[in-house]
Homo-oligomer: A and B are copies of this chain.
Amino acid sequence: MTRASSRRPGPPTRTERGIPEATVARLPVYLRALTALSDSGIATASSEDLATAAGVNSAKLRKDLSYLGSYGTRGVGYDVEYLRYQIAREIGVTQDWAVVIVGIGNLGHALANYSGFGTRGFRIVALLDADPNLIGERIGDMEVRDFAELEDIVKADRVSIGVITTPAGPAQGVCDRLVAAGVTSILNFAPVVLSVPTGVDIRKVDLSIELQILAYHEQRKSGEAALPQVPELPAMNGLTDLPSVGGGVGA
């Protein structure tokens, strides 16, 4: 098991019909921008308009869209509804995907209530937890069920996407169970690196990593001139007062 990562059979990274991964990651953004335009009653938009709404530059947007086909009209722009449907179809959200959420703590709770979740394309079919105290609790119009029922639920509802919102500890175990039950896409909120067999896609959302990236840049801003000369080789003996980072290190 744990047979290497997921995507990399022989050739490099290239989706079957050739849509680059970077583009795939932006399609949902375009989809949202188009929905917003549509809601504003706008029927046609140029690549420039769309790019602004999506927060990218227009050349990139045009190139991204060109991977899907030629859905625009030169001299005019894109028909908002039409393009929206094409992107939705390409992503696969014209159908509904069944989702289970495992781990109903604070975050699991929040996600279960998150309306924008089922905006379109996704349907939460079960909230699971192993804690007997939580089982049976109602959240919105759903009830927390026993994690032991996982296999039945996955089979019954053809669940292909699992969301892990457990603490770090049980995450790998939960992940293994999900995969064994037949789930082939996992969204992981637990702060651990999960390993999955080939063929299973996994994406990670990690709050503290995001904050740390911000901190890095923040530090650069404030200390622009204060830390150009980094102590390349600080005395190793100074490490004794580093029982735990942040313990006695703080400025």
Q: Say which residue of B90, B94, B207 sits within 8 Å of A249 (CB atoms).
A: B94
Question: Which B residues touch A85, using CB under 8 A?
Answer: 239, 242, 245-246, 249
Nearest chain B residue, comparing its CB with the CB of A26 = B209
Q: Could you say which residues of chain B place their CB within 8 Å of the CB of A35? A: 245
Given contacts A114-B106, A210-B205, contact A81 B221 (CB under 8 A): no
Cβ of A95 within 8 Å of any chain B Cβ, yes or no, is yes
Task: For the complex, give the distance between the alpha carbons of A222 and B106 in Å.
Answer: 33
Known interface pairs A203-B214, A207-B205; A230-B106 also in contact (CB < 8 Å): no
Contact A245 B191 (CB under 8 A): no
A187 at the interface (CB under 8 A from B): yes
A49 to chain B, nearest CB (A): 13
Please give me the residue from chain B that is nearest to A36 by CB atom: B192
Evaluate whether A218 and B246 lie within 8 angstroms (CB atoms) in the complex, with A29-B209, A69-B232, A193-B54 already known.
Answer: no
Indicate which residue in B29, B92, B239, B243 contacts A215 across the interface (CB closer than 8 Å).
B92
Which residues of B sit under 8 angstroms from A119, Cβ to Cβ? 208
CB-contacts of A178-236 with B (<8 A): 184-187, 191, 193, 195, 199, 201, 203, 205-222, 224, 228, 230, 232-234, 236
Q: Provide the residues of chain B in CB contact with A151, threshold 8 Å.
A: none
CB < 8 Å neighbour of A97 from B93, B210, B218: B218
**Do B187 and A82 touch across chains, with their CB atoms under 8 A apart?**
no
What CA separation (Å) do A92 and B219 show in the bound complex?
Answer: 6
The answer to whether the Cβ of A55 comes within 8 Å of any Cβ in the partner chain is yes
Cβ-defined contact, B214 with A81, below 8 A: no
Q: Contacts A199-B221, A245-B85, A247-B79 given: A91-B215 contact, CB under 8 Å?
A: yes
A113 to B105, CA, bound (A): 10
Asked if A82 and B236 make an inter-chain contact with CB atoms under 8 angstroms apart, the answer reads yes
B residues in contact with A114, CB < 8 Å: 106-107, 207
Q: Quick one: CB contact mask for A38-80 with B, threshold 8 Å, 1 for yes?
A: 0000010000000001110000000000000110010000010
Least CB separation from A69: chain B residue: B232
Complexed CA–CA distance, A236 and B234 (Å) = 67
Which residue of B91, B207, B216, B233 is within 8 Å of A212 (Cβ)? B91
